[in-house]
Structure 1
Amino acid sequence: MTPSARIQAAIELLDAIIASARDGGPAADTLIARYFKDRRYAGSRDRRAVRDHVYRAIRRAAERPDDGRMAMVGLARDLPEIAALFDGSAHAPAPIAPGEQGAAPGAVPGWLMPLLAAPVEQDALLGRAPVDLRVNALKGTPADFAALLPDADPIAGLAQGRRLPEGFPIEQNPAWKQGLVEVQDAGSQFIVQACGAQPGMTVVDMCAGAGGKTLALAAAMAGKGMLIAADTIRSRLARLGPRAERAGATFIETLLLDQSHETRALDSLKGQADIVLVDAPCSGTGTWRRNPEARWRLTPERLDRLVAEQARILDFAAPLLAPDGVLLYATCALTDREGRDQADAFLARHAGWVADPIDLPVGRRHGAGLLLTPGHDGSDGFYFARLKRGT
């Protein structure tokens, strides 16, 4: 592909990504993979260059552009070398017309900006995220990992945490193939640390998804006790089985829930759990470094639905706890509606419940819990709070 043809390919991909964001379709990575599967003529350099163009355009535009050309023209306004490739040659985009509108630059959609927690450093939300790892204590020690990847940096406050540069191909390394490490953002690891799971406990990961935090809980429990990974989406939960096998966490039980009727499957657990982790569905505003097109998917209406769903999940999760149990509420979101306000609303609805202070070397106290942000903590953005019945 010529350099100009790569720009045209990026425009075509951006058209698909914009349409998918508008209609709730597949993520950008999925669409990029499909695009090149049908275009075998594109070499590895072509794929890397096109992908880079696509993500630079996505990161630059907070508001969803009308189409892919608008997104790329916006990028070209900043970069003359890109603008020169709009040359109208074969397989290239037409020249940029005088006064042609490009996507406006920005980090946060205008409607969302006043809803972000006040300490959030907006420019840091779109930086490149490193590859954070958790050494799997069920398979080995940090020393075992260091023998395979000696250049990984430790993550302060996480004995099992290690960090590699953005884009490092960890899945090609023996440490990953042997189950010695899992890819897991530092913020996510701190959430598991805040749970305080110990061997022999009964722990429920209520919104387990593919089980990243479930596997970390399994390691903290040393494979002993009862650990239940619950979710309403079968396809996500199915991904946990192979991951648990590789990690040596075969004692995990999975529980498929019927959405809106979750209590039917959870009834036998009432009053039994030492820890319930509710890593609730959320806006994902804390993960924009990894998923920048998520800004184009979020709407005020969708945020309303998410906030209502978070409250509903908290309310049916709370009865599962033993009298001295801990409800750990977490979201990878940086809006106060999903974080501070959601935790405060739970405490207001549930008489006798209190916020249990979290003692971690990261984050900032924010309402009942802690706020982690990319700018302050070098992790994805998270809000989490420990909630329990008062004594």
Structure 2
Amino acid sequence: MTPGARTQAAIEILDQVIEAARGGGAAADTLIARYFAARRYAGSKDRRAVRELVYAAIRRAGEVPERGRAAMVGLARDDSAVAAMFDGSPHGPAPIAADEPAAKAGTAPAWIGKRFKASGIDAAEAAALVERAPLDLRVNLLKCADPATLFGDLGAERLADLPQALRLPSGTSIEASEAFRDGLVEVQDAGSQVVTLAAKAAPGVTVIDLCAGAGGKSLALAAMMANAGVVLATDTDRGRLSRLPPRAERAGASIIETRLLNPNAEAEALADWRDRADVVLIDAPCSGTGTWRRNPEARWRLTPTRIERLVDTQRRLLGIAAPLVRPGGALVYIVCSLLDEEGAGQIDRFLVDHPGWGVEEPIAQGRPRGQGKRLTPLHDATDGFFVARLIRAC
């Protein structure tokens, strides 16, 4: 593909991404894969170059652009090399007119920006949310006792306050590596690893991972517990939860049990676990504002109504989790959001609604936010998270 053809391909993909963002369609990664599945003539360098253009345009535009061309023209206004690709060549985009509309540069839609400000996220913190993220790995200590032996040839970096973590440059592929195939490592952001430490899981304890999804945190908990005790992983999404058993087998995590729950009937399905768990961990569904480094188009999908629904879901999950905790046990609440209504505000309301519960510092890392801790890309070089650790009275 010529440079112009690559740029035109990026414009066409951006049109699809914008339409999907407005209508709740597929993610950008999926749309890129589909685009090239129908265009086998494009080589690996072409695909990589087009992908880079697409994501550069997405990261640059805070508001949803009108069209893919406007997003790419905005990028061209900032980069003369991109502007040169609008050359009118065969299969390439037409030259840019002097008065042609371009997507405005920004970090987030204006309404989200106001909520960030109210939640203590300044312009510099917000800008870091759309920078490219590195590839973080969690070394599975059930199978590998020495992380230093892994991926040194790829420039792996040890993280001082997270000895089981490795950091590799953005774009590194490790899925075909022997270490990944053998379950020695899992892809998991360092921030996700840090907030899981708030469970303070030790060998022999009983933990419920209430919103386990595909089980990233369940696997980390099993390793923290040295494969001794019980991790009950539950979710209402059959497809995501079904991915956990093969992952657990690959990782050698034999203490994980799974239980599929029916939406809005979770409490009934977990009645036999009342007052039994040493720890209940809620990695709650949220706006994902802390993960924009990896999913920058996600900020185009948010609406105030969607956040209201998520806040209601989070509150309901906290209510389901509380009776499952044994007296003296802990409830760990996690969201990959930097909005107070999903984080510190939820905990404030929980403590009002549940007299007798207290709080403990959940993790050493991060900065205090309300009754919990917050991690951000700018301050902690991780995805953004809020985490709190609540203690049930004996």
TM tier, shorter chain?
A: over 0.9
Give the match for residue 40 of structure 2: 40
CA-based RMSD? 1.3
Q: C-alpha displacement at 1:172, in angstroms?
A: 2.4
1:184-237 deviation line (CA, Å, top 9, x unaligned)? 111111111111011111111011111111100010111111111111111111
Does the C-alpha gap of structure 1 residues 235 and 16 become closer, same or farther in structure 2, counting only changes over 3 Å? same
Cα distance in 1 for partners of 2:115, 2:388 equals 19
Deviation digits for residues 88-118 of structure 1 (CA, Å, limit 9, x no counterpart) = 2211112222211111001121101121231
Equivalent position to 1:342, from 335, 343, 346: 346
- How far residue 147 of structure 1 moved from its aligned partner, in angstroms, is 5.1
The 1:16–1:134 alpha-carbon spacing in structure 2 relative to 1, beyond 3 Å, is: same
- AA of the residue aligned to 2:178: P
- Matches for 1:124-273 after TM superposition, within 5 Å: 124-143=128-147, 146=149, 149=152, 151-273=155-277
What is the CA–CA distance in structure 2 between the aligned matches of 1:248 and 1:36, rounded to whole Å?
A: 36
1:79 Cα deviation after fit? 1.2
Rounded to whole Å, the distance in 2 between the matches of 1:156 and 1:177 is 26
What is the alpha-carbon distance in structure 1 between the residues aligned to residue 133 and residue 151 of structure 2? 22
Match of 2:387 in 1: 384
Partner of 1:293: 297
User: How many pairs does the alignment contain?
Assistant: 389
1:31-75 deviation line (CA, Å, top 9, x unaligned): 111111110000111101100000000000011111111111111
Instruction: Tell me the TM-score normalised to structure 2 length.
Output: 0.96
Q: 2:129 is paired with a residue of what secondary structure?
A: helix
Quote the offset at 1:148 in angstroms.
5.0
**Is residue 2:291 matched to residue 1:283?**
no
Aligned to 1:365: 368
State the distance in 1 between where 2:263 and 2:238 align: 11
SS in 1 for 2:93: coil
Structure 1 residue 157 displacement after superposition: 1.3
Q: 1:99 & 1:342 partners in 2: Cα distance?
A: 47
1:62 aligned residue: 62
Give me the whole-angstrom Cα distance separating, in 1, the residues matched to 2:64 and 2:49.
22
> In the aligned structure 2, how far is the partner of 1:374 from the partner of 1:387?
25
Cα contact 2:363–2:373 (8 A) shared by 1: no
How far the C-alpha of 1:358 sits from its partner, in A, is 2.5
CA shift, 1:330, in A, is 0.3
| Superposition deviation, residue 18 in structure 1 | 0.8
2: CA distance between counterparts of 1:165 and 1:17?
26
Aligned partners of 1:60 and 1:147: how far apart in 2?
35
The 1:147/1:333 distance shift into structure 2, 3 A limit, reads closer
Change (3 A) 1:328 1:292: same
Residue in 2 that maps onto 1:315: 319
Structural mapping, 1:11-50, within 5 Å: 11-50=11-50
Distance between the aligned counterparts of 1:194 and 1:263, measured in 2? Answer: 24
Partners of 2:106 and 2:229 in 1: CA distance: 48
Give the Cα separation in 1 of the matches to 2:353 and 2:80.
56
TM-score by length of 1: 0.97
Alignment deviations for residues 124-179 of structure 1 (CA, whole Å, 9 cap, x no partner):
11111111111101112125x51553642111211211111111112122221211
Structure 1, 50-59 or 190-199: larger mean CA deviation? 190-199
- Large movers: runs of 4+ above 4 Å: none
Greater shift in the superposed pair: 320-329 or 162-171 = 162-171
Distance 2:212 2:152 in 1: 29
* C-alpha separation in 2, matches of 1:142 and 1:191: 22
Distance 1:162 1:227 in 2: 25
Q: Which letter does structure 2 place at the counterpart of 1:110?
A: A
Report whether the alignment pairs 1:96 with 2:96: yes
CA gap of 1:63–1:354, structure 2 versus 1, over 3 A, is same
Counterpart CA distance in 2 for 1:227 and 1:302 is 31
